[in-house]
Amino acid sequence: MSYMANITVYLPDAIEKKVRKAAKAHRQPLSRWIAEQLLRSVEGGWSQGFLHAAGSIPDFPDAESLRSGYGADSPREEL
């Protein structure tokens, strides 16, 4: 038989609203959504393949070089 732990977490109201909204958007029960986010966090990190690829281009240009010639960014709206 498999057992599940019960954990009490205290969240500010603003965070609780965001978490509930995210779970609803993913059409998941709140507890399942939270469990998946925690699992990603503790298992997480980048895969070995990604880490290997990230360092494989020694002369890759920096962000400033990539953005040169495009002019100023458009104003962004707040989320």
> Could you read off the pLDDT of 16-68 as tens digits, one per residue?
999 999 999 999 999 999 998 888 878 767 767 777 787 777 787 777 888 78
Residue 17 maps to a domain: yes
**Domain span holding position 36:** 13-58
Number of separate domains in the chain? 1
44-68 b/e (C-beta count within 10 Å ≥ 16 → b): eeeeeeeeeeeeeeeeeeeeeeeee
Residue 5 maps to a domain: no
Residue 26 maps to a domain: yes
Q: Which residue has the higher pLDDT, 59 or 12?
A: 12
Give the residue carrying structure tokens 């998941």.
28
Residue 1 maps to a domain: no
Residue 8 maps to a domain: no
